[in-house]
Structure 1
Amino acid sequence: MANAPKFQEEYAAKIPAMTLLAGLGWSFLSPQEALTKRGGKQDQVVLREVLRNVLSKRTFHYAGKTYPLSENSIDNIISHLCSPALNEGLRHANEAIYNHLMYGIPVTEFVDGKKVTPTVSIIDWQNPDNNQFHFTEEYTVTRAGGFDSRRPDLVCFVNGLPLVVIEAKRPDGNSQKGPTINEGISQSLRNQRPDEVPHLFAYSQLLLSVNGIDGRYGTVETPEKFWAAWKEEDISDAEMLALKNKALDDATLQHLFDHRDKRDLSWYQNLIAGGELMVTGQDKLLISLLSKERLFDMIRYFTIFDKKIGKIVGRYQQVFGIKRLLERIQKRNSKGGREGGVIWHTTGSGKSFTMV
């Protein structure tokens, strides 16, 4: 039984997370495919091949005409994105990348001999389907010292950039060590240290720790006590159940399980043959945070950098409080006036951040 914990981790937490991500529209890459897309280099964390493919479709406008980006501009953007400024610390590097994601990167182009400086967006925020969504498992990344490596359980990429890192643990906590979700959190915090794989976390927007039953989330440098649970208010239980039990086509299933032991696929097929699967806390967290539109919302509207505290991602009360507030102020009564309202806060629930 030496391999029992691994077995439990895989079957209880990781495979369910992978099949759910596939159901949410993320495309799976086997560890080998992911390695190929980063040029076979384990010290590179961006899937350059994917990023190049996305940028090759980007255009800019000048004098009423549309032009494709030059190879030179594409190379410049890639080298810019692939060398995060970690010399000033992870938080600084992460904020610089975040700003590139939000505001694009300016490039220099020449049209008929005239110099033009368009700003190129890395992510199409308006149309999520205009982006490429991939995920992989056991993503091996060489440590900063260059000797050994770390292997986060699951990494999710948008346009080749690793924006989400997930640690999947077995469900049964050893009572001495506390719940296994905390193991995933401490692993995530360790991996962000300067001598570990900070170059992976320079891109991170959401970090998750799940154990098959439940999960917590944070972002870069979030202290363990602030990793939060999520309570969903907009996606109904029925929608969650439908997503959890969405049948994957044969090609997707083959691709997910091809590089694994044959028993893994038959285990999964037996599981789904047994009737409708219940939605776990892990499923709820993944659907609530990693559905494409919701992930984009969380990154764009509910992430801030605070001088003192660092990077903060919204908690569910803040997210839904803001959503309800925006709905309220867009409504008008029969006389054309707006309705008021109150957002009620308990002490320490982050009201100043909600207001930001």
Structure 2
Amino acid sequence: MTERELEILKIIKQQPLISQNELADMLGITRSGVAAHIHNLTKKGYIKGKGYILSEPCFVTVVGGVNMDIFGSAKDKIIRDNSNPGKIVHLLGGAGRNMALTLTKLDIPNYFISVFGDDLNGRKFQDDAKENNMDIQYCKMIKGEATSSFLYINDISGRRITGIDDMNIYNQMTPAFIEKNLDRINHAEFCVIDTNLPNDTINYICEKVTSPLIVKTVSLNKNDRLIKNLDKIEILVTTRRELSHMISYLNETFTSIDQGVDLLLNKGVKNIIVFSAKEGLFFKNANSKYHYNIELPHIINTNGGSATLTGTLVWCLQNNMKWTDTLKYAYTAAIISMESQEAVNPELSQESLFKRKQLYFKNES
């Protein structure tokens, strides 16, 4: 779907009875131009019949973590073994939650499947989900458990120095828990997971889920959970350090990202994205390879960048974009979120993506 078609479809969703002349006036194009776009949308299956009857929306399932992020941002250069002045903030996060929120902000119907505690942070998660129109009906509150939390420290540049997580509640996301939601997961256009899930649960998902599987890694000490299932992964989103750590489990070594990615492609992963704020986005599959590295504006918090990138990636795939546009939009979304203190920038939207993508990639075909 083209950007103009996306724009027209969004207007039609909001105003199903709008005329082609009204659409033309709103968009500043001719009525015949609108008619051509409507024809293409009908041909592609997004509109059916007369009166702009929209096809049933495809949805995505996201299975992963939600937690309270507690992070300290240093005001000056960090002095080791010493108290450092800065700011401490409590914000909702979690890779799964951040990906689901990104999809919601981009108007992609999705169901978030996770667990949270019957504590203050759990109630904050529920309130925040309601405020952001997230669908969490398949999330389960676990009595007597604390909602997952993640404590980390950023230096003055926004780079994470270290972190500690308290995520025992994720042990409740068992294969039996996933089985209760398996039918819904398998009716989704994509299933997106993070590696916060227990090892047995990841194995179960890789065995039983029939929807294309998109995986985002979250931590070095959780990468081994993917090793037995690399051939089940449609898209893997990771970092250079996590890539290196995964390859160490294969008793292999590499000297470049290109070579390292090839090792995982040879194990069956279909598409791989390696992303970091510093080194940009590297993508490779059996047919193509791309690398984008933009000089970034001031970065406030990198914690949600990769999850926002992954959610936007799914939005692009669901709209049948080619890989070059998909990667540019995903990278742009990551930049937008890293400019915000919150894991997913409240300003993220389809409109902001269109504008910023044109800004960052205006010299690219």
Q: TM-score over 0.5 for the alignment? A: no
Higher RCO (CA < 8 A, seq sep 6+): 1
Q: What TM-score, normalized to structure 2?
A: 0.29
Q: What TM-score, normalized to structure 1?
A: 0.30
